[in-house]
């Protein structure tokens, strides 16, 4: 589908500078532009590309001042980055606007389904499940018995929701996500074997949550594992039974959270972090990559390391570690000098 510079400017409340009829049908980085492409310039480091880009239309900030001729048509807006993000969302919505129920999908006769659904091939909706309006279930999605999926939620191929899972409105679960598998509950017995503890709770995911591919969230032993509204989880994250993640917390890939750990609101957790079980993490905490969190974090801080320590202290420690070889040589030299002094004193 093609759009003119004028149509794009109207959508963004921008102003066209150049050919108002310039057409675009795809997007590209400004340095990789080609005819028919739409690009944007927000970072001053990329300004030189605007004089050589082959993109037909470029979105720029209102205060951009050209110092050489620009071949592309410009659209001036108050915030080029935000405007381009808005266009990408619009484009994504258009390309992902699937509807209809495949003849190869299965919906239980006891399930309740809303309007304007997309159910791809081999999507499954179990008994007494409730599916909201404008929901998209891509091929091979499994929605188990008693599950609830809210309005405008998208489940990409291969997502699995075990029984009684609740997913709120406007959520996105990417391919391979598994929600509601049994928590890792096993009781050691005197003879050395493990007795499985039934996991009878569920998982509740609130509104506006996005979960990356192949992330897993276990059902609670009792009660609910709960992901609060606005949480963003990357790919390949593991959240164990009875964990809780507070509103608007973001968590990067390969992080693992042990059972019954509560992470607060507005936290930022980098990749490959590991949390022990039964601890609380304060609202607003920021944790660096590959950190090990072994105890409660009672107030917001920037932390890193294993075990974690304040970021400034961690960086100082790392500076000392880099000098260990030099320090070791110095110590060896001092030992030699001391031995020499001892020998001289005996004479």
Active site positions, annotated: 241
The answer to whether 160 and 214 are in contact (CB under 8 A) is no
DSSP state of 242: T
- What tokens does 69 get? 């001729």
122-127 long-range contacts (CB < 8 A, ≥24 apart) are 126/163
Q: What letters, b where the CB count within 10 A reaches 16 and e where it falls short, cover 148-179?
A: bbbbbbbbbbbbbbbbbbbbbbebbbbbbbbb
What contacts 297, CB < 8 A, 6 or more positions away?
279, 280, 281, 282, 285, 303, 308
Burial of 217: CB neighbours in 10 Å, binned 0-12, 13-18, 19+: buried
- Number of Cβ atoms within 10 Å of the Cβ of 332: 10
Are the beta carbons of 163 and 181 closer than 8 angstroms? no
Which residues have a Cβ under 8 Å from the Cβ of 213 and sit 6 or more positions away? 156, 174, 175, 176, 177, 235, 236
Q: How far apart are alpha carbons 131 and 112 in whole angstroms?
A: 6
């Amino acid at each position: 589908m093609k759009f003119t510079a004028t149509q794009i400017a109207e959508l963004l409340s921008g102003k066209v500078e150049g050919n108002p009829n310039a057409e675009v049908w795809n997007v590209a980085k400004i340095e990789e532009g080609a005819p028919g492409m739409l690009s944007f310039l927000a970072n001053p480091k990329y300004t030189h590309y605007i004089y050589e880009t082959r993109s037909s239309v470029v979105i720029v900030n209102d205060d951009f001042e050209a110092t050489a001729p620009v071949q592309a048509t410009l659209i001036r807006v108050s915030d080029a980055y935000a405007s381009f993000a808005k266009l990408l969302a619009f484009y994504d919505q258009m390309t992902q606007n699937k509807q209809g129920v495949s003849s190869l999908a299965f919906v239980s006769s006891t399930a309740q389904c809303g309007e304007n659904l997309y159910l791809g091939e081999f999507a499954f909706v179990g008994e007494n499940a409730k599916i909201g309006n404008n929901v998209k279930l891509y091929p091979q999605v499994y929605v188990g018995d008693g599950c609830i999926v809210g309005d405008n939620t998208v489940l990409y191929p291969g997502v699995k929701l075990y029984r009684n899972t609740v997913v709120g409105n406007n959520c996105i679960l990417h391919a391979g996500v598994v929600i509601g598998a049994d928590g890792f509950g096993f009781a050691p017995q005197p003879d050395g074997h493990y007795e499985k503890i039934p996991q009878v709770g569920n998982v509740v995911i609130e509104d506006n949550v996005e979960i990356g591919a192949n992330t897993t969230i276990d059902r609670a032993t009792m009660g609910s594992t709960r992901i609060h509204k606005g949480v963003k989880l990357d790919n390949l994250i593991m959240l164990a039974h009875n964990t809780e993640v507070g509103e608007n917390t973001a968590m990067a890939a390969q992080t693992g959270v042990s059972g019954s750990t509560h992470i607060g609101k507005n936290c930022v957790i980098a990749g490959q972090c590991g949390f022990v079980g039964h601890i609380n993490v304060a609202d607003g905490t920021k944790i660096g990559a590959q950190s090990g969190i072994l105890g409660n974090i009672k107030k917001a801080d920037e932390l890193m390391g294993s075990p974690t320590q304040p970021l400034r202290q961690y960086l100082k420690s790392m500076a000392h570690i880099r000098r260990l070889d030099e320090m070791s040589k110095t110590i060896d030299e001092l030992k030699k000098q001391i031995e020499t002094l001892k020998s001289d004193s005996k004479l």
